[in-house]
Every structure is written in C-alpha cells, then in structure tokens.
C-alpha cells in the first residue's frame, strides 16, 4: 500500500490507501513511517462529536466519535482518570481516522474537564472533553414545547433580515456568493437580523419562531436554504455562529417566546466531514448506480406493497447532492440521536421540526423521538409529511389505526388541511365534494389521530406557492385564509411575509423565498413599519395582528373544542368553545352575499344573544338572521 494525503479545507488530512505490488516488508515499513508523520502533523486536529456533555442527564451513556488523522491506526487504548466517567467500550472504525468511545457517566458525576489520554507515546496526544453543568431553568425557559396555544412564525434566515453585514461572506467557506438579485445565491440574512425584529414579531402576536436549518452548510452552491448540513455541531458562521443562535434563544425566552429547531436526519450535504471521509463504507446508502428516492410515501404503509419499492423510497437519495444516511448503522444512529439531545440542551430549543420525516427509517425515528422525549418530556416534535392522503399522514404520527408499525411522533405538518382543505375551499367552486366541502371532509377525518390539536396547520411555506398568489391576489380571500388558520384546531404556523401579502409561485422555489422588504439597509421599502406598507398590506397586517393577539387570551381558540356544521351552499360555519367562551366562525366562500340562518346553528347558539366581531368590535344580534358579504370571513365572540 501507499498512503496519499488529500488536504481538506478544514485542515483534516484524508488518508487514502492505494494497493500496489510491494512486498509485505516494504509496505509495512512505509505504512509505519507515514502514519508516524500523519500523527505528528495532525495531533492538534482531533475532533470530538459531541464536543461536550452535561452532568445530571438521563442520557448518561454516550458514544463519543473521535476524528483525526490515523488516530485509530495502531488501535490505542484510551485512559480517563475522572471520577464518575468510565470507558465502557472502544471501537475502531474501518477508516483509521475514527475511534468510537462509549462513556458511562455516573448519576452524580461532577461538571469539569478531563483528558482522554492514550496508552503509549506514539499514540495521539490527549484530547480534552468537558462535562458541563445543566441549565437550572429547563422546562421553564426552554424545552417547553409548543402547543395549540402558540402561534408559529416560519423564517428563512438568509432572506429575512441582514443585521450583521460583516458575516455575509466567510473566508474559507465554499459558497462565496452574495447577490440579492439571484434566487439561489446567498442574500446575507442572519440571526442578528431576526433579533433586531423581535419587537415586530411579538407585536404581531407570534409566540414561537421556527427557523429553517441554521447549522453549517459549507457546500459550493445552494447553501442559502440550510438543508445541506456539513457539520451538525456548528451553527453556520454566515448566520452569526453559535453565539448569535444562543443570543436569539435567550432573547426569545426573555420575552416569553419559544425557539423551534429544524432537524434533518435523512440526508446531509455532500461535503459533510463524515461524507468526505467516511468512517465506514455503509455510513450512507449505496446503490450499483445512482438511485433517487421515489418520493412515493404510500409504499410504506401499503399492505400490498413490494419490498423493493419500500427500499427505494427509504434508501434512495433525496437529490444527487444529498447523500442518504444509513440509520441502520448503529454509529450513524448514535451520532444523530445524541446530536438532537445535545442541540436542545446547548441552544435552549423548545420544539423540534423534523425535515423529510417519512424518508427516514421509521424504527430509527421512533428511537430518536423516544430519546428526546425521555430527556425533555414537554418538548414537542412534529415531522414534515408532505404527502397526498389523510391515511398516510395519520400513519406517520400517533394514531388509532390498527397497523403493524405504530409511530410515536406527537405531531406532523398538516399538509392535508392545506392541500385538500383551505386551498380548495378558497379556489374551487362549491360542489358536493368540491370547494369548502373539501375542508369540511378533511377535518371530519381527524378521527384517526390520537390528538389532532398537535398538528401544525399552515397556509404556505418555503416549498409551496404563497397563499396570496394561490387565491389570485384576492385580499379578502387572503384574510379568510388567515382567519381560518388562527381559528381552526391545531398549532397555526405563518410563513414570513404572509401578513404583508408577499406573493410568488414555486416555479422555481426561489420565488417563494424572496427577501422581506426592509430587512436590508438601503431597502426602498420597509414593510416592518406601518409607514412602509401600502393600504392593502396594512389591512391584511392589522387583520392578522388583531386576531393573533385576541387568540393569545382566547381559551376557546387555543384549547377549546371544535364543532363544524356541514357547508351549505358555500357557507361554512364552525365553532370553537369551552366552558368559558364560544367563538363562531362564518366563512362565506361564495362571491355573493350569504344569509346565516341562525336556527340552523341553534345547537351551539343556545344561551347567546349577540356576537362581537373580533376585528371591528361591532355587535351582531343572534335573535335574527344576518348576512356575510361574498368571500368574507366573520369571527364572532358570543355573548349572553
């Protein structure tokens, strides 16, 4: 063998062995010499994953993956002298650049630093590891979860606001683009820009922020969206790094707001350190030739499905530049699960959104969910389930279905009430199964969920056309959509800019990921202020703000029951109610004015004589029929 050195941008030397026809003696001598040189040159480059842990965690048995040039070549034995820390197992990866150490931490282990030393001088230099004290405020200031009492705001950090122009480009990173006229280059938005506008968000009524992934995306192109992760333990420096992310978490919690992290288990960027230098061959799924996932979720629960179809769906790559991780590999599974727990503790995360949920190995996902909830019982987990069918969506979350596999995922992103609910309600003519009847029928099938109030409902997101464009830029339909979002069951999520009627179709997706006007110094318009908004934008903004803030203190809308009445000639009426409050929601999806027959809804109107319009304050008598203009939604708080 001959050992060639391939330098990587992060300074780690990738060792590649090439088989040649040397004698055994010459090969052995050459290997020893080269390994000695590599160890001397790379002694300071050994990395620990995770880089530290905490005392008092329920998860007190961790696998530390060490990565450095040839550190495992001579299979050195680790030595740790620290009370309460025991090396339980040592494994040497096929790639000599990796060692796995399983550490057992005693329940009473004290915070402190220690060294992982080795048995001989020829082995790697000692590596420092730290046991940190846990936060005293967990469950109060973080890991609180999100619920139907919250209002989530989804942000693409690169496109929201640039608060620190000094980190727009970071030397040494592969993507040096910075061009706001391009849909796919970086624009410079960062975490400081989000912190700068927390007043705006809180005034709007937002209680929780979900950011598209903020972890390092050191790839050559398309690094703006965050889903090409290249290091799970680094926050992207162009967003401000870990310090900025922690500042955002602290700032949110000081305001009584919450942080949702976007997690990606299924795939990584193709320049991730453990892709460029794989610990072993089956770290990712390999095929004889490139194989893409089919994106066909129904094979996973189809009782008649072919195993080959299931394999292609689960193990095929999401894109050619996103290697598909093999979660059956125990070290891959350990790495991902530990990183999830580490991130919640390190950054003070309150909820966990899981990208491309159904493309993961589902048994692995159950393990990961269980580990997170064991450590943080109040944490809410919801997975992206962009599928076409209510049975499928129900299958992937906690459900009442009689099926062999039982998911333990508490919630999902509710694509069904979006694609087959509110969108047809506002875009299709009324019919037996069309128009607003689609919304009614979709909600009627909540019967399969264990708890439908834990689903995240939405109008649009970073992958879908914006709702304002979908409804033909009809302002009243936009307001009806927002009215439904903030009054239906579930956890409402608003995509950034929907409140100021940002528009765009996904052709391509960059058109729905445009900059928030006013988020950059020198922007011609600043939509963060009333002065910068047009009259129409201000109307929609105030409609959203008024209802969102009313919702904060409305027990009926946040935790009450839902009763819906079958639509009648495009008129859809439903109620949110509990023992303290009743809210009547009337959605007229016809272009013409409609009369509300009060007697039709006597089941829920008994005991009430009037309704106060949440937006206008006007009183409507319930002793007689009343009218609702075309394409309008009226929300009434009922009074005796």
What residues act catalytically? 355, 384
- Measured CA to CA, the distance from residue 417 to residue 436 in angstroms comes to 11
Report the distance separating Cα 287 and Cα 326, nearest Å.
Answer: 12
Length of the chain: 640
Dist. CA 477–CA 276, nearest whole Å? 49
Alpha helices in 520-564 (DSSP H): 535-552, 555-559
| 133 vs 109: CA distance, rounded Å | 10
Q: Which residues, in sequence order, are bridge partners of residue 15?
A: 5
Whole-number Å distance between alpha carbons of 315 and 318: 9
The SS3 call for residue 30 is helix
The tokens describing 225, both together, are 């969206």
Place of tokens 């708080």: 637
Strand-pair partners of 2:
18
Could you tell me which residues come within 8 angstroms of residue 7 by beta carbon, excluding any fewer than 6 positions away?
A: 13, 14
Q: Is 396 in contact with 412 (CB distance < 8 Å)?
A: yes
In this structure, the dihedral spanned by the alpha carbons of residues 526, 529, 532 and 533, taken in order and rounded to 10 degrees, is: 110
> What span, in angstroms and rounded, lies between the C-alpha atoms of 441 and 450?
18
Tell me if 323 sits within 8 A of 267, measured CB to CB: yes
Of 113, 49, 126, 51, nearest in space to 83 by CA = 113
Closest CA to 485 of 234, 98, 205: 205
């Amino acid at each position: 063998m001959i050992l060639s050195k391939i330098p990587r941008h992060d300074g780690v030397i990738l060792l590649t062995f090439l088989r040649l026809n040397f004698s055994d003696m010459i090969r052995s001598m050459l290997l020893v010499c080269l390994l000695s040189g590599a160890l001397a040159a790379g002694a300071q480059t050994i990395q620990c994953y995770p880089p530290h842990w905490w005392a008092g965690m329920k998860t007190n048995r961790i696998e530390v993956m060490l990565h450095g040039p040839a550190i495992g070549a001579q299979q050195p034995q680790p030595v740790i002298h620290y009370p309460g820390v025991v090396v339980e197992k040592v494994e040497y990866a096929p790639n000599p650049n990796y060692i796995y150490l399983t550490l057992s931490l005693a329940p009473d282990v004290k915070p402190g630093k220690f060294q992982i030393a080795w048995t001989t001088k020829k082995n790697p230099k000692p590596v420092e590891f730290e046991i940190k004290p846990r936060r005293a405020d967990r469950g109060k200031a973080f890991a609180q979860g999100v619920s139907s009492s919250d209002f989530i705001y989804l942000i693409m950090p690169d496109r929201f606001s640039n608060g620190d122009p000094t980190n727009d480009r970071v030397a040494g990173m592969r993507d040096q683009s910075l061009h706001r006229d391009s849909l796919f280059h970086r624009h410079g938005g960062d975490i400081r820009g989000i912190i700068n506008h927390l007043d705006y968000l809180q005034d709007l009524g937002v209680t929780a922020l979900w950011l598209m992934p903020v972890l390092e995306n050191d790839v050559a192109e398309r690094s703006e969206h965050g889903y090409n992760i290249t290091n799970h333990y680094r926050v992207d420096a162009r967003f401000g790094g870990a310090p900025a992310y922690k500042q955002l978490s602290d700032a949110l919690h000081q305001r009584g707001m919450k942080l949702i992290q976007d997690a990606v288990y299924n795939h990584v960027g193709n320049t991730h350190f453990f892709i460029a230098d794989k610990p072993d061959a089956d770290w990712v799924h390999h095929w004889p030739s490139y194989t893409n996932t089919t994106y066909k979720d129904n094979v996973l629960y189809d009782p008649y499905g072919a195993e080959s179809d299931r394999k292609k769906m689960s193990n095929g790559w999401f894109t050619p530049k996103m290697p598909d991780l093999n979660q059956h590999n125990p070290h891959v599974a350990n790495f991902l699960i530990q990183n999830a727990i580490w991130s919640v503790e390190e950054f003070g995360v309150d909820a966990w959104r899981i990208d491309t949920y159904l493309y993961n190995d589902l048994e692995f996902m159950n393990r990961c969910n269980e580990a997170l909830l064991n450590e943080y019982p109040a944490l809410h987990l919801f997975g992206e389930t962009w599928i076409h069918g209510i049975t499928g969506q129900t299958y992937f979350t906690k459900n009442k279905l009689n099926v062999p596999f039982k998911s333990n995922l508490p919630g999902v992103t509710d694509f069904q009430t979006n694609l087959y609910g509110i969108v047809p309600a506002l875009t299709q003519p009324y019919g037996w199964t069309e128009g607003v009847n689609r919304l009614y029928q979709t909600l009627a099938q909540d019967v399969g969920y264990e708890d439908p109030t834990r689903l995240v409902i939405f109008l649009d997101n970073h992958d879908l056309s914006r709702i304002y464009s979908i409804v033909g830029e009809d302002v009243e339909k936009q307001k009806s959509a927002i009215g439904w979002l903030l009054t239906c069951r579930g956890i409402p999520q608003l995509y950034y800019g929907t409140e100021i009627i940002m528009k765009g179709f996904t052709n391509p997706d960059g058109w729905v990921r445009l900059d928030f006007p006013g988020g950059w110094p020198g922007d011609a318009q600043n939509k963060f202020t009333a002065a910068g908004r047009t009259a129409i934008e201000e109307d929609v903004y105030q409609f959203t703000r008024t209802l969102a803030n009313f919702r904060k203190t409305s027990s009926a809308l946040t935790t009450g029951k839902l009763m819906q009445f079958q639509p009648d000639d495009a008129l859809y009426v439903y109620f949110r109610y509990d023992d303290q409050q009743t809210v009547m929601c009337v959605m007229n999806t016809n272009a013409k004015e409609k009369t509300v027959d009060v007697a039709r809804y006597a089941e829920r109107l008994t005991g009430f004589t009037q309704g106060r319009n949440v937006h206008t304050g006007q009183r409507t008598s319930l002793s007689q029929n009343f009218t609702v203009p075309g394409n309008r939604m009226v929300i009434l708080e009922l009074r005796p």
